[in-house]
Amino acid sequence: MELRLTDQVAVVTGAGQGIGAAIAVTLAAVGARVTVNDINPDRAERVVLQIREAGGQAIAVTGDVSNKFQCVNVVETTRSEWGRLDILVNNAGVLPQVSVLKMDEWDWTRCIDVNLKGTFFMTQLCSRVMADENQARGGVVVNIGANEMSMMLPGRTGYAAASAGVVGFAKACARELAVYGIRVNTVLPGIIETPMTQHRLGDNTAVLSSQIPLKRLGQAQEVADTVLFLCADAGRYVSGTTIVVDGGGYDLG
C-alpha cells in the first residue's frame, strides 16, 4: 500500500496546533512539502520548525481562511515557493461554546465564516489551480469536520451547522471535480485529545472515555493517519466519502 507523497505539495489550514499540526507533520514525514497555515504566526512557525528538524520541508503562511484575499495569499505563496499544488486539507475551524438561546450573531457568523465559508474559499482556489495545472495528476481535498457526538455536546449549534454544511459541500464537490481527477473527502473526528479539548473537557474526560467502545479519547495522530490514506495513492479510488474516526461511536445511555 503506497503511502508516500514524494515531491507533492500540500496546504494544511489551521495547522498550528492539535489535529492540524499532526496532519502537517505526518504529510511532511512521507515526502510532501507542506504549507502550514494558521491565524497565529508563532504557532505556524513552531510546526514548521518541527518539520524541518525532522528533515522535512515546510513554510508558514499566516492567514484567516474566512478572508478570501488572505486565502489567495496562502495559495499564491505556496505556488511561488513550491511551483505546484497537489493536496489541500481544510482543517481550520473555530468552536464557540454557547447555548443557542444565548449565542449572539457574531459567534454564529464567525463559526460559519471560518468553518464553512473558509472551506469553500480554499477548496475553490486550490481546485482551480489543480484543474488548470495538474492534468492527469489531479489533486486531493480533505475536509476535517466533526462527528455526531462532537456536535451533540452542549453549546455546539454553530459548529454542528457548519460541519453538516462541510459534509454536503464535499460530496457535491467530489462529483463536480471528478472530471479533473480531483478527489474530495471528509474526515469526522470524534473527541480527540488535544490541548483545546483537555482545557474544555476538564473533569469530564474520564466520563466521556467510558462511553466510547474503545474506552479512550482519540489521538490527533489517528486522524492524521486517516488523512494520509486519503491523500496517498492508496486512497486513489476514494472520493465523495465521509470517514468517521471516533473509536466506535458513543453510548450516551
Tens place of pLDDT per residue across the chain (253 aa): 678 999 999 999 999 999 999 999 999 999 999 999 999 999 999 999 999 999 999 999 999 999 999 999 999 999 999 999 999 999 999 888 888 898 899 999 999 999 999 999 999 999 999 999 998 899 999 999 987 555 556 677 888 889 999 999 999 999 999 999 999 999 999 888 876 666 566 666 777 777 776 778 879 999 999 999 999 999 999 999 999 998 777 665 5
Residue 210: predicted pLDDT? 72
Residue 197: predicted pLDDT? 65
Residue 95: predicted pLDDT? 82
**CA 164 – CA 20 distance, rounded (Å):** 20
Q: Which residues lie across from 87 on neighbouring strands?
A: 10, 140
For domain 9-244, give the CATH superfamily: NAD(P)-binding Rossmann-like Domain (3.40.50.720)
**Every domain of the chain and the residues it spans:** 9-244
Residue 12: predicted pLDDT? 98
What does DSSP say about strands 139-144 and 87-90: parallel, antiparallel, or unpaired? parallel
Residue 74: predicted pLDDT? 98
Cell 471528509 found at? 186
**CA 212 – CA 209 distance, rounded (Å):** 5
- Residue 207 to residues 145, 152, 215, 216, 251: CA-CA distances in angstroms? 23, 15, 10, 10, 11
Quick check: is 159 catalytic?
yes
Residue 239: predicted pLDDT? 98
Longest C-alpha distance within the chain, in Å?
Answer: 53
Q: Which of 159, 180, 237, 250 is catalytic?
A: 159
- Residue 121 to residues 8, 74, 175: CA-CA distances in angstroms? 21, 11, 18
CB contact burial 150-167 (16+ within 10 A = b; e otherwise): bbebebbbbbbbbbebbe
Q: Which residues contact 185 (CB under 8 A, 6 or more apart)?
A: 140, 141, 142, 143, 170, 174, 230, 235, 238, 239, 240, 241, 242, 243
